[in-house]
Structure 1
Amino acid sequence: MAQDIKVMILGGVRENGKNMYAVQVDDEIFILDAGLKYPDTQLLGIDYVIPDLSFIEDNADKIMGVFLTHGHADAIGALPYFITKYDIPVFGSKLTIELAKIAVRNSQKNANFSDFHEIDQDTAIDFKNATVSFFDTTHNIPQTLGVAIKTDAGQIVYTGDFKFDQSANKGYKTNYSRIMEIGKEGVLALLSDSSNAEMPHEGANEKEIGDYIIETLKDHPGRVIVSAVASNIARIQQVLNAAYLSNRKVILTGQDVAKIVKTAMNLDLLHIPDEELIIPATKINEYDKEDILVLETGRMGEPLKSLQRMAMQQHKLVNITDGDLIFITTTPSHAMETTVAKTSDLIYRAGGVVKEISREIHASGHASRYELQMMINLLNPQYLFPIQGEYRLLAAHKEAAEETGMAASNIIIAKKGDVYQYEKGEFQLTEGIASEDTMIDGAGIGDIGNIVLRDRKILADDGMFIAVVTIDRKKKKIVAQPKVMTRGFVYIKENKELIYESIELTKEAIDTNLQTKKFDWSELKQDVRHSLEKYLFQKTKRRPVVLPVIMEVNQNRHRRNANKPQGNKPQQKKK
């Protein structure tokens, strides 16, 4: 009897980040990566976005494990939000597991979770219905792996983030022979990285990038502040090498960098050229500026925020002054380009100079169009699922695959929540699964929905308008003159007529309710809100959040009088 094989898309398509996919073989489910994405500017106040976890909840007893390709947040960031609750084992390379442990243990709820399993490309895990094996790939973090799930119908291969780089160092090298071996065994479906599919040719290799960083540091006579993502270990290694060769001491700042650097060093995956290269931040004033390199790291977006604080003279350790070179060594996503531009403007105002590696050299950890075609030719899959990228990137990947000879009908551009079942020799779209984004805001998980985000956007765009009124419901009158407050809408002292009319409209709406309607709190507030919203839009063409605050007096006294025992009044005695 043929196996029941399904490919399920939990995240990572038609978006940047949040990679999470599932392959089901009969009654066993294999989760491929569990990542997060950083919010764009429309998701006001949101810290992270993770996939909908209801699929995990509904199928926890069938899940054999989470198989991680590498240690970046787009692959491991969602782990802390479900693994302890459902006790699901986690598999990954040694470095990936160590970084996953850091991510998980940062959450106090998961501090005792220990079901981690280290694997490498020589590992093959036999389950009841499938065998899971791995192959080394090249990315900008060491020990990155691809995953192959062997079924009766052929292998389902997930590349994770990858590129081909013939000059890659130990720990970063792709195992081409292993990939060819998987291709010879037969590949049913390939889930392949599309993040750089629009780039027609190979980008700069890591040796070229390293040489460029060395030249940049040697050519600048003053202090250098380097911005990088903490988990981009290849870039951090290149910066440390360049600092050593340009006779600069390094100061590490930013979140996560100390843990990540220490972990990579312990695993012999990050090398400090000189034990005295890194100095404490407290010693920054003991050296001349031209002898210092400040390495500012963090998660995506955090280094840029730190640079902004430096430019505004608000950083606790380093502030930008005349002659400083700010070297941004991470290629920003499209969502971050506006932030980069704003940061650069602030730096120039402070007297610094900005250099972005992305403007001088194409530095990417993801496969170009040519490299994607090479992966297809090595594996020769029957079906291709372009993943990891916005729709235009998935479409570019499809076009590249067609150029290799793949039939367009065998290239599937899926969307989140799609489930494709393999039956009668082809993948067919079946009933989907829940795929809504889960918002992480502080300690809240999934408690921020579209209504809350809509309100935040309105508050950000048009502010709020608050009307405070005290009424006596029994006497059916307003006790005190309404008071009006605004935040982010208008300046009260310069809009006296607007405020006066708003007060009059508030009084009118309340009087109408008290005199002509059966009293209802919700109707009263709604009438006030509607009246003010209509008037304020007519006058300003803006729609602030209108909050009527209506208080009542004498309600407690009325209740006490109602409960007082009735009887004869005491009579006054005559003298």
Structure 2
Amino acid sequence: MNELSNQIRIIPFGGVRENGKNMYALEVNDDIFILDCGLKYPENELLGIDIVIPDWNYLREHADQIVGVFLTHGHADAIGALPYFVSEFNVPVFGSELTIELAKLNVENDPKSKQFNDFHVVDADTEIDFGEETVSFFKTTHSIPESLGIDVKTPLGQVVYTGDFKFDQTAAPFYQTDLARLGEIGKNGVVALLSDSAGAEQYGESATENQIANFVKDQFAAHEGRIVVASVASNILRMQQIFDAAAATDRKVVLMGHDLEKIVRTAMRLDKLELPSDDLLVNPKNMKSLSPEQTVILETGRMGEPIKALQRMATGEDRYVKIGEGDLVFITTTPSHAMETTVAKTRDLIFRAGAHVQAISDSLQSSGHGSPADLQLMINFMHPDYFIPIQGEYRVLNRHAKLAEETGISSDHIFLTQRGDSLIYNGEAPMHLAESIEVGNTMIDGIGVGDIGNIVLRDRKILSEDGIFIAVVTIDRKKKQIVAEPKLTSRGFVYVKASRDLMREASELVTKTVQDNLDNKEFDWGHLKQDVREHLGRYLFDQTKRHPVILPVIMEVNQHAHHARTKKNTVKKATEQE
């Protein structure tokens, strides 16, 4: 392909104007590179939804162009959607050793993807040649070992995706950033930089991991009773700090949760997590043999969400642990803005249970994401022609854009994208926003993938707010009459015994509506049900100013059975007369 016909297209499938769900497609001519494949946990309005993953309808139409999935690190926001993706797209997956092991755990847990095994381990020295493009990697600092940024060399220059990162001069070997490599990439000319924005609103510098480690140790030493630690399962760095602090204060650690144990065992097997002593970990079954001053309970919750698990412990609903007098609940996660109210309620529940609460974020600014100064340092390393802030809600993307302008990048070379936007660059015209593609959310509820849409969510919302109203009517269509008066049932709408007049008038209205339809020569089942819904809905709103979900159930008597019963009764009467 000659130089004039080269083209780069960048499409975010998630990770912009939202927290999590990182997934970006880089199209270089006819090849598509998938950068991360993450999920996000739902906000409160997504009633009953377990997780949300990207919608990849566009990729289904271009499946033969996908050359692979390239992962930056092993957190759910980067690898969580992988089981669903590889069950549809049989393409190779690349990542560091730990990232691939955690990805395998995810994939093996899903029955549709557990046969997939096209995984490839890479490191900072790996270069993968795809003909016209070359993919290489660089070491970054995050809260999990072996985090990598991705550098795609194209005929038009380099496109760099940072993944989640920060700069920490005290980072341990598994977590260190390769500053020399960043400088080398920047010198070779970066066309576009996709950079993590999550820490763009931080004030001042984040605490170093050494400072955080010492803080954790001080908290463990100062408390004489039992300690319950809330952490995210895949934050390996925090796990190491908790293990070290427990050993230093003569405590044992109880791992709560099967997922946590698998992640810890995997990290230990790869020597990315070290036990300071062989007897540090205690099985939950043997927890009662430990005195309170010896006990550290490490709770990560279902799917890595520890806050809800703490609520169950505080209210006595947890099977194994009941938080009470003398306990210290130590929260080591930094909640997102969306979770702040939930965390405040959880703290209140813990105090009511008689325990004390301490969070790292109360005393230190801890984050796995770069501060504003870190973000500007990355930009200055890369010197990109075009800048695309990613990973965060709009306000942090916007703040990151302002930080980029302060480093000298022109505002018309900065793109605040949303899902489905297509950024096009061909080396001749400036990078520009082309026609967008439609990219929605795919919601996972139990084993259902994508079967919950906006209509179902709307119904769930109505059910949660206004309840349900069911009208059951039995009719004889042949005789054009109602066999039994309507049976009305309400759940979550009104208390039936206190609303007898409402129910009686609703019953009369249903009777009249059904009879009017029976008397109509052009009887239609769909029209009958819709009529009942409309008339009943209007009446109930007039009376209550509420919109419950209305379910009309219309049953028809079996004509043949009815005829047989009548004939049998006639024979019986004739016999008696004889």
Band the TM-score falls in, shorter-chain normalisation? over 0.9
Of residues 495, 507, 512 in structure 2, which corresponds to 1:503?
507
Query: Any conservation in 2 of the 1:31–1:67 contact (CA below 8 Å)?
Result: yes
Of residues 89, 102, 108 in structure 2, which corresponds to 1:105?
108
Query: For 1:209-238, what per-residue CA distance to the aligned partner results, in whole angstroms no more than 9, with x for missing partners?
Result: 111111112112211111111000011111
Deviation at 1:449, TM superposition (A): 0.8
Query: Any conservation in 2 of the 1:69–1:160 contact (CA below 8 Å)?
Result: yes
State the number of aligned residues.
566
Q: Secondary structure at the match of 1:551?
A: strand
Q: Which residue of 1 aligns with 2:313?
A: 310
CA distance in 2, matches of 1:472, 1:28: 64
Deviation at 1:408, TM superposition (A): 0.4
Deviation at 1:466, TM superposition (A): 0.9
CA distance in 1, matches of 2:113, 2:421: 30
Q: Which residue of 1 aligns with 2:219?
A: 216
Deviation at 1:187, TM superposition (A): 0.6
CA distance in 2, matches of 1:342, 1:553: 54
Deviation at 1:338, TM superposition (A): 2.6
Q: Output the amino acid matched with 1:329.
A: T
How do 1:108-119 and structure 2 match up within 5 A? 108-119=111-122
Q: Which residue of 2 aligns with 1:567?
A: none
CA distance in 2, matches of 1:558, 1:495: 36
Deviation larger for 215-224 or 180-189: 215-224
RMSD: 2.0
> TM-score under structure 1 normalisation?
0.95
CA distance in 2, matches of 1:498, 1:26: 66
Q: Which residue of 2 aligns with 1:404?
A: 407
Deviation larger for 232-241 or 81-90: 81-90
How do 1:466-477 and structure 2 match up within 5 A? 466-477=470-481
Q: 1:212 to 1:229 in 2, by over 3 A?
A: same
Q: Which residue of 2 aligns with 1:192?
A: 195
How do 1:172-251 and structure 2 match up within 5 A? 172-251=175-254
How do 1:359-438 and structure 2 match up within 5 A? 359-423=362-426, 424-438=428-442
Of residues 492, 495, 498 in structure 2, which corresponds to 1:494?
498
Of residues 31, 35, 43 in structure 1, which corresponds to 2:34?
31
How do 1:264-283 and structure 2 match up within 5 A? 264-283=267-286
Deviation larger for 517-526 or 364-373: 517-526
Q: Output the amino acid matched with 1:463.
A: G
Deviation at 1:188, TM superposition (A): 0.6
CA distance in 2, matches of 1:509, 1:530: 10
Q: Output the amino acid matched with 1:458.
A: I
Q: Which residue of 2 aligns with 1:256?
A: 259
Query: For 1:448-488, what per-residue CA distance to the aligned partner results, in whole angstroms no more than 9, with x for missing partners?
Result: 11101100110111111111121222222222222211111
Q: Which residue of 2 aligns with 1:452?
A: 456
Deviation larger for 415-424 or 135-144: 415-424
Q: Which residue of 1 aligns with 2:533?
A: 529
Query: Any conservation in 2 of the 1:255–1:297 contact (CA below 8 Å)?
Result: no
Deviation at 1:300, TM superposition (A): 5.7
Query: Any conservation in 2 of the 1:200–1:370 contact (CA below 8 Å)?
Result: no
Identity of aligned residues (%): 56
Q: Which residue of 2 aligns with 1:484?
A: 488
Q: Which residue of 2 aligns with 1:76?
A: 79
Q: Which residue of 1 aligns with 2:570?
A: none
Q: Output the amino acid matched with 1:304.
A: I
Q: Output the amino acid matched with 2:555.
A: M
**2:447 paired with 1:443:** yes
Deviation at 1:517, TM superposition (A): 5.3
CA distance in 1, matches of 2:417, 2:191: 16
Of residues 151, 157, 160 in structure 2, which corresponds to 1:148?
151
Of residues 77, 86, 91 in structure 2, which corresponds to 1:88?
91
Q: 1:229 to 1:255 in 2, by over 3 A?
A: farther
Q: 1:68 to 1:137 in 2, by over 3 A?
A: same
Structure 1 unaligned regions, length at least 5: 565-570
Deviation at 1:560, TM superposition (A): 7.6
Query: For 1:134-192, what per-residue CA distance to the aligned partner results, in whole angstroms no more than 9, with x for missing partners?
Result: 10000000000000011222210000000000111110000000000000111111000
CA distance in 2, matches of 1:410, 1:158: 17
Query: Any conservation in 1 of the 2:96–2:146 contact (CA below 8 Å)?
Result: yes
Structure 2 unaligned regions, length at least 5: 568-573
CA distance in 2, matches of 1:211, 1:64: 45
Q: Which residue of 1 aligns with 2:173?
A: 170
Q: Secondary structure at the match of 2:173?
A: coil
Query: For 1:52-93, what per-residue CA distance to the aligned partner results, in whole angstroms no more than 9, with x for missing partners?
Result: 122222222111111100000110111111214321000000
Query: For 1:512-538, what per-residue CA distance to the aligned partner results, in whole angstroms no more than 9, with x for missing partners?
Result: 222345321112111211122112212
Q: Output the amino acid matched with 1:544.
A: P
Q: Output the amino acid matched with 1:348.
A: F
Q: Secondary structure at the match of 1:229?
A: coil
Deviation at 1:559, TM superposition (A): 8.4
CA distance in 2, matches of 1:357, 1:462: 41
Q: Which residue of 2 aligns with 1:335?
A: 338
Q: Output the amino acid matched with 1:317.
A: Y
